[in-house]
């Protein structure tokens, strides 16, 4: 034990010596900063998605065979793989640009229509995405949105025709019926209802 620098005598002065001084504290993290790799993300949602890549055992990770990006869940990998597909299923009606995800298409279309439903309460700026608003609030106004673990943010229902927002889907539908009766959303919803009625008649005959 002496060779290892330890004192074998329990009655020695060294064994009863108290350790003085304080343990150095860990550095505090910046808002939306990952505690594993210290990367700073744009908003709480982006941080949660990023942190998921650090969870679990390496053997349980899902790796993209195209770009080697790692995902914690199969569903996240499946969504990512769409960006590598040359076939774009969802086309922009304004410019013809294609996307493999309806969310990406909606975000892109708003650059044409000017719909910016997420408005800053402290200035005149508005944004197409909630995370862009939260990033603006933090960088410009020093306001950080705090969410509890697994807390769901209030969903906003957006009219893609004029940018009107509603707190429920029923309220949005009422707005569309009164203000935009010929909207693409209502036409698509009507087509789905028509198909469901045909299917109902088919299975009951």
* Statement: residue 25 has pLDDT above 80: no
Q: Say what the pLDDT of residue 69 is.
A: 81
CATH code at position 133: 3.30.160.60
User: What mean pLDDT do residues 172-180 have?
Assistant: 91
| 38 or 91: which leads in pLDDT | 91
Q: Is pLDDT at 155 greater than 50 in this prediction?
A: yes
Does any domain span residue 29? no
Q: What is the mean pLDDT of residues 59-69?
A: 75
Do 80 and 147 fall within a single domain?
A: no
Q: What is the pLDDT of residue 14?
A: 40
Task: Evaluate if residue 92 carries a pLDDT over 80.
Answer: yes
Q: Are residues 94 and 191 both part of a single domain?
A: yes
The parent domain of residue 79 ranges over 34-84
What pLDDT, on the 0 to 100 scale, is given for residue 164? 92
Contacts of 126 (CB under 8 A, 6+ apart): 116, 117, 118, 119, 120, 133
Count of domains forming the chain? 2
Higher-confidence residue: 145 or 5?
145
Query: Which of 151-160's residues contact partners 24+ apart within 8 Å by CB, and which partners?
Result: 153/45, 156/117, 156/118, 156/130, 158/115, 158/117, 159/115, 159/183, 160/106, 160/109, 160/110, 160/113, 160/115, 160/185
- 74 and 157 fall within a common domain: no
Where does a domain end: 48, 69, 84? Answer: 84
Average pLDDT, the chain: 75
Angle formed at CA 177 by CA 174 and CA 179, multiple of 5 degrees: 100
Cα–Cα distance for residue pair 108/105, rounded to 1 Å: 5
Q: What is the pLDDT of residues 93-145, one digit of tens each?
A: 899 998 888 888 988 999 999 999 999 999 989 999 888 998 999 999 999 88
**Mean pLDDT value across residues 25-37:** 69
């Amino acid at each position: 034990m002496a060779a290892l620098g330890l004192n074998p005598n329990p009655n020695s002065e060294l064994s009863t010596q108290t350790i003085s001084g304080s343990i150095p504290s860990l550095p505090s993290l910046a808002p939306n900063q990952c505690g594993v790799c210290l990367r700073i993300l744009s908003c709480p949602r982006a941080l949660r998605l990023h942190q998921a890549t650090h969870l679990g055992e390496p053997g349980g990770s899902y790796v993209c065979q195209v770009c080697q990006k790692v995902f914690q869940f199969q569903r996240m990998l499946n969504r990512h793989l769409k960006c590598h597909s040359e076939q774009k299923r969802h086309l922009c009606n304004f410019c013809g640009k294609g996307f493999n995800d309806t969310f990406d298409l909606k975000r892109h279309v708003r650059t044409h229509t000017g719909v910016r439903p997420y408005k800053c309460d402290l200035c005149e700026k508005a944004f197409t995405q909630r995370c862009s608003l939260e990033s603006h609030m933090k960088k410009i106004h020093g306001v950080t949105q705090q969410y509890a673990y697994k807390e769901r943010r209030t969903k906003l229902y957006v009219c893609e025709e004029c940018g009107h927002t509603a707190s429920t889907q029923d309220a949005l539908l009422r707005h569309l019926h009164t203000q935009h009766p010929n909207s693409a959303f209502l036409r698509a919803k009507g087509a789905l209802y028509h198909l469901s009625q045909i299917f109902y008649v088919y299975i009951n005959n």
